[in-house]
Structure 1
């Protein structure tokens, strides 16, 4: 009975599927395309309106702030640099004379390029950040969230971002640069000084000027000639991804953003040409270094000529043009060092691009990778730099609270670090982040990780680490240090000794009041190994502290520790509340 009653329905269903499945699929595809086109147009015009509304304010804040920092600190930068050159023993008198002679040229370049870069970044960030944020809103799940984020995102956040950029730039100019100069003065005692003959100074200066006169115009001509090909080659790559639904076009939610990339590709090409011209300045000046290294004026001239050919050859490889170059490429080295990279611009990002051995060290136009893009899913699986920064600061906060509970770090020491702008209290400025980094390494060893295991459970390896040049300087040395700690198999009391040595930057006497169960190894060799590891950890932290955004984020951690210590100790809060009342306590920002 049931079989006979259901048979007509089954037959009707089969008939509908057989006759209307393809039209329905076609209708769904058409609706999907219509939705993408509507989303793109809506985001394009709404983002353009927000860019016109917010862009001038954000750009003005960033440009005025950065230019004010540049001009305001210029006298101090000149004074600090001249003083460091005079005091350092890293170079001899003739080399000091050569640097002092070209110092006005270098500072003129600094003024021109930094002001031009600030204007470029200010206009680009102020006008395009609201636009991109509008397109990013279409990645939200619900339609309500898409509309809300499309209207709100990129407005007040862009203005705050401009202020943050100015703050980070000021930290680099006012704190990081003097620290580099201080290291130049102090590290010179541990190195063999570089020397140059006085007769080679005029040759260095002449080759540097020749490099500017020859390389800048020729680099400009080559970049301009090849820019149309780069424009159409990039459009071809993006349109191919769009048609075949590869790379950024794989996910429907990302199609509007990828469409914006097609429209803005000409700006990328213009930026690449400008960066190629700017890089030619430094490549030309590097000719004086070749004269110094080779002790030969002729080889310096050969370098100037060879770099033009290398640039032409490298851009041919990058843009899939005919290999090689018709320009002459004289030999400017007596022997080629295996680890020499010269002054290559873009060599570090040439993975995935076909290249010849002769072009591996050549300077290049800074162009994006024209090879097939990775899918969005592959990009999501990569650990982001912001995750690592967040974990570093979170680890500093957790370890700092432990040390505050143990009375190793006091509210007075934290406030003193803020008051002196980090010039004192090495336990706070270097000891605490070094201590947190040590525990990250020890935790990675304990879990058996092949890379670094973050506190949130994310493992950073060579495969999923961010492709960032700043991280390259940091990641590999930390992995090497992790393997060294793992190899010497520290006992528990030796680990405690390493913790104390790291926290107090090697001054164990300062930590006598902290009884953490440490014991100095009886074997002098083993004690020296532990102290060497401690010095390397502190040195890495000192290098990390000069990175952009680090100082701003770490100040927030210190303020959070002050709040925690005052809440923990009421009597201390009553004595110190007036001292820190002017300090704004805010959570650590991303």
Structure 2
């Protein structure tokens, strides 16, 4: 969409757009009133039933795992046993309240957004889509939310607990606390919490008028010029509401600052414990105010740095990611660093002005990486199935019993390893997820979960580059990662691996184990299980129809009777299954 130039052109564009906007807003509101309550009821009652039904199992199994695990020391076990009832009792209350609020928000905003998306560029038959989009899809999406929440409570929880009670390795030590350090920590918390609450809340209140005026100024400029969030039609209602509700956003920011100040104060106790020094904890208490002040200055484009002191709160030199370069807890700001930071701010302002809102959302969406992973799983699954590395029994067990541990861990691990090998071979700065797409630090989704993944994957890529694998070794790895345990060098004896270098073998096995650990964490994401089982169903039916395998009639009938979502063949409903923890408690899948 071309942005009008000149005041009269901008004013005419704005006035001519208003009737069109209000009609869409009215239609979207009607659909939200009709569809929203039904979607909210589905999410509220579905999630509440899951939480209440599984709460006794969660309570019992949490205590059992905490008492049994070797990863936690005796002192920490005792403290956890004493304080665990409070969060476990609050869990169903918070989950039910969150389901109610989330269901209302989902039921209202999804139909409204779908109405505006229906008139976007590239949509054929816009009139029909305006009336139909956001109706049936919202109800189907509400059911998917309940399904994913069920996966999280049933599968992800027990999988995490299975990891907690796993035996320690030879080089691992249990996590415990020292009782002699606790007095320093408790005293630091008692002093730091009131101090930080008072100071941080005061800073937030002092800067709230500036946030209010600057926010209104920026939003009004974008409104008149049809820029920023007002450039895309689908974002206009929410951007318009942001002008009206901006004071509420400022109030919310002040409240959030007040709540976050408690965590700053409690972290002072953690610093005091880590450094075994009350003085260091109190130093962080003062530094936290400076950190918050500098952060708000950056957000509001005010002056550099902070007027508050920032004393040293670490005894030893450590690199920190908070702000700037740290030298033993002090901030070192050179003239070059200041110029670079100023230039970065100007560049960010220019980028915010030049990019549309939806383009920014696209850059930040983790679903693009998620979709690539499942496309890679689909393609590699076909290859491994044709080579006999994946059998019909493996897929039938995953579909009917929900036991997908072999496929859901080893198959994605091979896909990621193949991506790392390709990226290392072509000397990529990031990860080559396709022939024309390279993921780097600049375009990687700004999501905490994905940020935790990128760093280790880039390190593994550099390790793969140094190993210089041959084509024969790459082909053999595909078999080994799926069929072998890869726990110790002897697991690769008589496997046909071309290299006899034991060091290289051990390094590859360590990389495979690390990738499998990353995939285990990924499998705890609720949508992973649903999408993976649906993908296995599609591959199974495809193989049966092609005559590659002789599929079980009961399995095929069960797949054909399952409800299929209208969006994708991998988005239908799938069978649930229990993990080791659920099986130990005798729980059937919900």
Same fold (TM over 0.5): yes
Please tell me whether the aligned partners of residues 248 and 374 of structure 1 are also in contact (alpha carbons under 8 angstroms). no
Q: For the residues of structure 2 that align with 1:536 and 1:159, how far apart are their CA atoms?
A: 39
Please tell me whether the aligned partners of residues 91 and 195 of structure 1 are also in contact (alpha carbons under 8 angstroms). yes
1:390 — aligned with what?
371
Decide whether aligned partners of structure 1 residues 74 and 226 sit closer, same or farther in structure 2, where only a CA change above 3 A counts: farther
Please tell me whether the aligned partners of residues 55 and 126 of structure 1 are also in contact (alpha carbons under 8 angstroms). yes
Q: Return the offset for 1:445.
A: 4.7
1:535 — aligned with what?
513
Decide whether aligned partners of structure 1 residues 101 and 48 sit closer, same or farther in structure 2, where only a CA change above 3 A counts: same
1:436 — aligned with what?
415
Please tell me whether the aligned partners of residues 212 and 246 of structure 2 are also in contact (alpha carbons under 8 angstroms). yes
Please tell me whether the aligned partners of residues 426 and 504 of structure 1 are also in contact (alpha carbons under 8 angstroms). no
Please tell me whether the aligned partners of residues 28 and 111 of structure 2 are also in contact (alpha carbons under 8 angstroms). yes
2:32 — aligned with what?
51
The one of 460, 467, 471 aligned to 2:446: 467
Decide whether aligned partners of structure 1 residues 259 and 335 sit closer, same or farther in structure 2, where only a CA change above 3 A counts: same
The one of 137, 155, 161 aligned to 1:181: 161
Q: For the residues of structure 1 that align with 2:255 and 2:104, how far apart are their CA atoms?
A: 15
Q: For the residues of structure 2 that align with 1:223 and 1:163, how far apart are their CA atoms?
A: 40
Decide whether aligned partners of structure 1 residues 187 and 314 sit closer, same or farther in structure 2, where only a CA change above 3 A counts: farther
The one of 555, 560, 571 aligned to 1:589: 571
Q: Return the offset for 1:504.
A: 3.0
Residues 1:126 and 2:104 are matched in the alignment: no
1:230 — aligned with what?
211
SS where residue 139 of structure 1 aligns? coil
Q: Return the offset for 1:411.
A: 2.2
SS where residue 521 of structure 1 aligns? coil
1:365 — aligned with what?
none
Q: Return the offset for 1:470.
A: 1.9
Decide whether aligned partners of structure 1 residues 74 and 215 sit closer, same or farther in structure 2, where only a CA change above 3 A counts: farther
Please tell me whether the aligned partners of residues 116 and 234 of structure 2 are also in contact (alpha carbons under 8 angstroms). no
- CA offsets, 1:220-251, max 9 Å, x none? 67656655543332221112233455433456
The one of 396, 421, 438 aligned to 1:415: 396
The root-mean-square deviation of aligned C-alpha atoms, in Å, is 4.1
5+ residue gaps in structure 2?
1-5, 324-336, 342-347, 573-590
SS where residue 138 of structure 1 aligns? coil
Please tell me whether the aligned partners of residues 43 and 99 of structure 2 are also in contact (alpha carbons under 8 angstroms). yes
Q: For the residues of structure 1 that align with 2:496 and 2:280, how far apart are their CA atoms?
A: 58
Larger of the two Rg values belongs to structure: 1
Residues 1:555 and 2:536 are matched in the alignment: no
Q: Return the offset for 1:396.
A: 0.9
Q: For the residues of structure 2 that align with 1:223 and 1:113, how far apart are their CA atoms?
A: 27
5+ residue gaps in structure 1?
1-24, 343-355, 361-367
- CA offsets, 1:542-588, max 9 Å, x none? 22212242122111111112212322337434475466566556612
**Higher RCO, Cα 8 Å, sep 6+:** 2
Decide whether aligned partners of structure 1 residues 179 and 556 sit closer, same or farther in structure 2, where only a CA change above 3 A counts: same
User: How many residues align structurally?
Assistant: 536
Question: Normalization by structure 2: what TM-score?
Answer: 0.77
Q: Return the offset for 1:538.
A: 1.6
Decide whether aligned partners of structure 1 residues 252 and 202 sit closer, same or farther in structure 2, where only a CA change above 3 A counts: closer
1:159 — aligned with what?
139
The one of 150, 162, 181 aligned to 1:170: 150
Q: Return the offset for 1:102.
A: 2.8
- CA offsets, 1:52-89, max 9 Å, x none? 22222222322333333333333333333322322233
Decide whether aligned partners of structure 1 residues 34 and 391 sit closer, same or farther in structure 2, where only a CA change above 3 A counts: same
Q: For the residues of structure 2 that align with 1:271 and 1:303, how far apart are their CA atoms?
A: 26
The one of 382, 385, 389 aligned to 1:401: 382
2:17 — aligned with what?
36
Question: Normalization by structure 1: what TM-score?
Answer: 0.77
Please tell me whether the aligned partners of residues 57 and 126 of structure 1 are also in contact (alpha carbons under 8 angstroms). yes
SS where residue 499 of structure 2 aligns? coil
More divergent stretch after superposition (223-232 vs 144-153) = 223-232
Q: For the residues of structure 2 that align with 1:117 and 1:220, how far apart are their CA atoms?
A: 26
Decide whether aligned partners of structure 1 residues 141 and 485 sit closer, same or farther in structure 2, where only a CA change above 3 A counts: closer
Residues 1:193 and 2:174 are matched in the alignment: yes
Decide whether aligned partners of structure 1 residues 501 and 341 sit closer, same or farther in structure 2, where only a CA change above 3 A counts: farther
Please tell me whether the aligned partners of residues 309 and 325 of structure 1 are also in contact (alpha carbons under 8 angstroms). yes
Please tell me whether the aligned partners of residues 271 and 280 of structure 2 are also in contact (alpha carbons under 8 angstroms). yes
1:11 — aligned with what?
none
Q: For the residues of structure 2 that align with 1:76 and 1:215, how far apart are their CA atoms?
A: 39
The one of 443, 461, 470 aligned to 1:482: 461
